Chain A
């Protein structure tokens, strides 16, 4: 008999699934019930994720934990695997989910139908993708996550959203087909879909199959890179993210990192140091692709006039940085990249939320919201009364401006916030480089610094335009409910700055385990008879 606590691992998937289903059954009319369920479920997810993180950060023996669904042996059944990386991603998702939900509760969740169930299914897909140890199951959770995100992108409706959503859906459907092709090629050649089993069988493959396995893995990689938004496959990203409503965009900012996560996990498992002839396959492509993405993202950041598109371009820059840093394939750089991931995701999410608040003063988003609310025929008067209860922060614009400033520092990688530490952690092991890859490393170091410069220039300009102008119309009315998530996300980065030592230590151990996945393999294969 397993102790009940071992079932905690599946809770991040089961809980949002059940709660989401309950919400659909409860219907749109019982808003109090649905809202209560959403808050309870999302808060519980944060608690569960932190518990799982504590469990995964224990000793080396407990670092990789395997949950066998239906108690089938790992090679027949599907396994969920919890290690430090997945625990980290779970915590990030849960915190981001809580912040986006709180923000949405102020007004956005009334802008269209079924916001809450979609949000829960989104969290379920994300958590599942981070926990699964099976390639096909990863595909299924990707689809769950994407299907929910299609709904969230379109939340609030309007021509811009539908237009962007159409591209987003078409591209992701095509990417899913590539995912399937890659997975089935790997299965056809290696004969298993369990990631750990695949990793242990790939080094022993005959030479004539090696090319096909690499081709299959490359096709799979393309599917992940489309999701991560690598140049030239990321043109859909800024448009879609800018068109999505603020809470949806905030949760989407981790969606693009799922591609990065999958790549990190699978690339290091399949083509890590122990992969024989295929070791390091495609690493240079990742670095070059990442560099091009950084370049494209930086130019987009500088060129854009629209704040929401600026945030979308910032997503591209952070994706590019991560891909290039991962592609270097060095433990220290990967640790820095993980720190960067944990610091940039809340930063970008906070930026998306902030932009919506700032734009509201200019009566752009508010107009759309008013129209959609009329279209849905919600009780207008009651909603207005509800909003009056929220505390109107005096000098709201000043606080907004300060937060925007903090976001800019965070994304550009300037001290004192964690963005600087993240870039420093990546640059420090990158710089003392000799030998063949030297040029690529110098280019990457330069790109990291220059992208920071581009970000700070663009965000300064946008900040001046938005906050240093004479107020034209009404000052934005911002409830505490809407401001708290932004502050929480920024406080998260502040906490990472203060506690940089232990956090970096955790990332270092995570990167070690990723580069030498013996514990992961032993953990999963140990679940086999």
Chain B
């Protein structure tokens, strides 16, 4: 499972990074979204990748991370998702404003001269 998750994070990061460096604003925002998915998966994996564990605590079990999933990374992911969702929405607004004001979707607000 580690391999699958690691590959997933790697592929998402790679594609996100490539898109982030592209000249069109739409590609940039897609890149940022992919990167944020990768980061969310990464945060999630820091709690340890194990299956079939109790979400918090089973009755009578000792409260140690061997007996239940680490809840903190899940809380962090949730916060990160909310924040990246909000900032992506905000970026989208700026992107549209930029398209309207400059008449191009190039990230520099003007086409490169050929």
Cα A503 to Cα B88 in complex, Å, equals 43
Task: Indicate if A491 sits at the interface (CB-CB under 8 A).
Answer: no
Residue of A nearest to B86 (CB): A147
Chain A 161-195, CB-CB to B under 8 Å as 1, else 0, gives 01101110110011011001101110110000100
Residues of A120-160 contacting chain B, CB below 8 A:
136, 140, 143, 146-147, 150, 154, 157-159
Q: Which B residues lie within 8 Å of A177 (CB)?
A: 32, 35-36, 39, 84
B94-A188 in contact (CB<8A):
no
With A136-B76, A159-B102, A166-B109 as contacts: A173 and B87 at CB distance below 8 Å: yes
A136-B39 in contact (CB<8A):
no
Task: Indicate if B80 sits at the interface (CB-CB under 8 A).
Answer: yes
B36-A169 in contact (CB<8A):
no
Residue of B nearest to A137 (CB): B79
Q: Which A residues lie within 8 Å of B109 (CB)?
A: 159, 162-163, 166
Q: Which B residues lie within 8 Å of A162 (CB)?
A: 94, 97-98, 101-102, 109
Listed residue (A146, A147, A180) with the most chain B CB atoms within 10 angstroms of its CB: A180
Cα A181 to Cα B16 in complex, Å, equals 15
Q: Which A residues lie within 8 Å of B67 (CB)?
A: none
B39-A170 in contact (CB<8A):
no
A180-B39 in contact (CB<8A):
yes
A169-B35 in contact (CB<8A):
no
Residues of B26-57 contacting chain A, CB below 8 A:
28, 32, 35-36, 39, 42-43, 45-47
Q: Which B residues lie within 8 Å of A163 (CB)?
A: 98, 101-102, 108-109
Cα A283 to Cα B46 in complex, Å, equals 27
Cα A78 to Cα B101 in complex, Å, equals 43
**Among B47, B79, B94, which residue has its beta carbon within 8 angstroms of that of A136?**
B79
Residue of B nearest to A178 (CB): B39
| CB of B46 to closest CB in A, whole Å | 3
**Among B20, B32, B72, which residue has its beta carbon within 8 angstroms of that of A187?**
B72
B107-A170 in contact (CB<8A):
yes
Q: Which A residues lie within 8 Å of B43 (CB)?
A: 180, 184
Q: Which B residues lie within 8 Å of A159 (CB)?
A: 101-102, 109
B95-A174 in contact (CB<8A):
no
Interface SS majority for chain B: helix
| CB of B83 to closest CB in A, whole Å | 5
Cα A9 to Cα B76 in complex, Å, equals 25
Q: Which B residues lie within 8 Å of A184 (CB)?
A: 39, 42-43, 46, 73, 76
Task: Indicate if B91 sits at the interface (CB-CB under 8 A).
Answer: yes
B83-A166 in contact (CB<8A):
no
The bracket for how many chain B residues form the interface is 20 to 34
| CB of B28 to closest CB in A, whole Å | 6
Q: Which A residues lie within 8 Å of B46 (CB)?
A: 184-185, 187-188
**Among A158, A170, A193, which residue has its beta carbon within 8 angstroms of that of B91?**
A170
Residue of A nearest to B36 (CB): A177
Cα A166 to Cα B28 in complex, Å, equals 10
A150-B39 in contact (CB<8A):
no
Task: Indicate if B90 sits at the interface (CB-CB under 8 A).
Answer: yes
| CB of B49 to closest CB in A, whole Å | 11
**Among B72, B79, B90, which residue has its beta carbon within 8 angstroms of that of A169?**
B90
With A147-B90, A185-B46 as contacts: A166 and B25 at CB distance below 8 Å: yes
Q: Which B residues lie within 8 Å of A154 (CB)?
A: 94, 97
A166-B98 in contact (CB<8A):
yes
Q: Which A residues lie within 8 Å of B47 (CB)?
A: 188
A143-B32 in contact (CB<8A):
no
Q: Which A residues lie within 8 Å of B45 (CB)?
A: 188
Cα A6 to Cα B107 in complex, Å, equals 48
Cα A165 to Cα B28 in complex, Å, equals 14
Residue of B nearest to A187 (CB): B46
Listed residue (A158, A177, A188) with the most chain B CB atoms within 10 angstroms of its CB: A177
Q: Which A residues lie within 8 Å of B35 (CB)?
A: 174, 177
A174-B32 in contact (CB<8A):
yes
Q: Which A residues lie within 8 Å of B91 (CB)?
A: 169-170, 173
B107-A169 in contact (CB<8A):
no
Residue of B nearest to A143 (CB): B83
Residue of B nearest to A164 (CB): B109
Cα A23 to Cα B98 in complex, Å, equals 27
| CB of B113 to closest CB in A, whole Å | 17
With A162-B101, A184-B46 as contacts: A174 and B20 at CB distance below 8 Å: yes
| CB of A417 to closest CB in B, whole Å | 39
| CB of B32 to closest CB in A, whole Å | 5
Residue of B nearest to A186 (CB): B46
| CB of A125 to closest CB in B, whole Å | 12
Chain B 93-105, CB-CB to A under 8 Å as 1, else 0, gives 0110110011000
Q: Which B residues lie within 8 Å of A188 (CB)?
A: 45-47, 73
Residue of A nearest to B88 (CB): A173
Q: Which B residues lie within 8 Å of A170 (CB)?
A: 20, 28, 32, 91, 107
Known A-B contacts: A166-B94, A173-B88. Give 18 more (CB < 8 A).
A147-B86, A159-B101, A162-B109, A163-B108, A166-B25, A166-B109, A169-B87, A173-B84, A173-B87, A174-B35, A177-B32, A177-B39, A177-B84, A180-B42, A180-B80, A184-B39, A184-B46, A188-B45
List A residues at the B interface (Cβ < 8 Å). 136, 140, 143, 146-147, 150, 154, 157-159, 162-163, 165-167, 169-170, 173-174, 176-177, 180-181, 183-185, 187-188, 193
The 6 closest A-B pairs by CB, nearest first: A188-B46, A163-B109, A184-B43, A184-B46, A159-B101, A177-B39
List B residues at the A interface (Cβ < 8 Å). 20, 25, 28, 32, 35-36, 39, 42-43, 45-47, 72-73, 76, 79-80, 83-84, 86-88, 90-91, 94-95, 97-98, 101-102, 107-109
List 6 A-B residue pairs with CB atoms under 8 Å apart, sorted by A's residue number.
A146-B87, A163-B109, A166-B107, A169-B90, A173-B88, A184-B43
